[in-house]
Amino acid sequence: MAKECKMANEIKEFNLKEICKYLDIDCPDSDKKIIGINTLHDAGKNEISFLENKKYEKFLKNTKAGAVLVREEDAKKLPQNIIPLITEEPYLKLALLTKLFVFAPWENGGYQINKDALVDSSVRIGKGARIGKNVVVMPNAVIGPYVEIDEGSIIYPNVTIYRNTKIGKNVIIHAGSVIGSDGFGYAHTKEGKHIKIYHLGKVVIEDDVEIGANTTVDRAVFGETLIKKGSKIDNLVQIGHNCEIGEYSILVSQVGLSGSSKLGRNVIMGGQSATAGHLEIAPFTTIAARGGVTKTIKNPGIYGGFPLMPHKSWLKLQAILSKLLKKD
C-alpha cells in the first residue's frame, strides 16, 4: 500500500481576461495572472477579492488584492493600483468564480505511509496524502488527497477526511466524523436560485485534539478552519467554516458553531449551545447548555439562556417566572 509521492503545490492560474469572460463582466485591458480568491484583508497581488457588505468597506483602502469585484459606486474607493471588476452582484459573481478555482474532490495516485503506521487494508487514500509514524487508521476510513496526519494520531472506522486537511500529533477522531466538508454557503440570484460557494480553504487540527463520533468540521471558504491544541470536542458537534477554536476549549454534544465564530482559549460550551457566527468569545468563558450567543463576548464569565445573559441573572429570571406561574 505504501507508495512514494511528491506533494504538489496546488495552484490554478488564469488571466484576468479569462475570468471576466467566465463571469460575463466587462474586462479591463489586463493579462494579469490570478491564482486564487481571498478576503479584502488577506488577498495578495495575484488574487481576486470582493466587496458585498458595507461593513467590510474599511478594508478597501489597504487591500493588496490584484482585482476586486465591486459595485460601480465603490470602485473609486480602491487604491489606484487595484483593478476594479464592476458588477451589480459581487457576491453572486464570487460564488460563480469559486467553481473555477476548486480542485477535484478525489484523485488517485501516490501517497506516503510511514512504516510504523497501522492502516487497515479497507482504507481509501487519495493522491499526495501523508500518514505519519505510529498513526492508526481503522477500517473503511477515507483519507482524501493531500491530507496530512502526523505522528501518533488515531482515526476510527468510517471517518472521512476531505482533501488538503492537516491533522497534528496525537489527535483522536472517533467513528463517523467528517472533517473538511464544504460549509453551508450559497449566493442567491434575483430569481431565487441558490448558487453554491465552493469552499477553497482547508481544516487544520493541531496536536492533542480529540473529536467525538459523528462530528462535522467544515473547511474554510478561504484560509483555514482551525482547531487549536488540546481542544476536546464531543459527539454530534457542528463546526462551521472559518471557525477558530482556542487552545484547550471544550465543546459538549450538539454544540453548533456558525461560520467565522472565534473562541478564545479554554472556552467551554455546554450541550446544545450555539453561536450566530462572525463573533468572538473571550478566553475562559463558559456558555451553559442551550445558551445562544448572538454577539461578541468581551468579558470572560459564565453565561446562559437566550437571549444570552450572565448565568446568575438567567437563574434569577427562571425563579421569577416560576413564581409568576405558581400565582396563576
Active-site positions?
Answer: 241
Closest CA to 153 of 239, 80, 211: 211
Closest CA to 165 of 196, 5, 153: 153
CA–CA separation, 219 vs 225, rounded Å?
6
For helices 16-23 and 90-101, the axis angle rounded to 10 degrees is: 120
Q: Letter for the amino acid at 202? A: K
Q: Report yes or no: 166 and 186 within 8 Å, Cβ to Cβ.
A: no
CA–CA separation, 251 vs 162, rounded Å?
22
Q: Report yes or no: 292 and 306 within 8 Å, Cβ to Cβ.
A: yes
Strand partners, 26: none
What does DSSP assign to residue 297? B
Q: Report yes or no: 100 and 12 within 8 Å, Cβ to Cβ.
A: yes
Peptide bond into 307 cis (omega under 30): yes
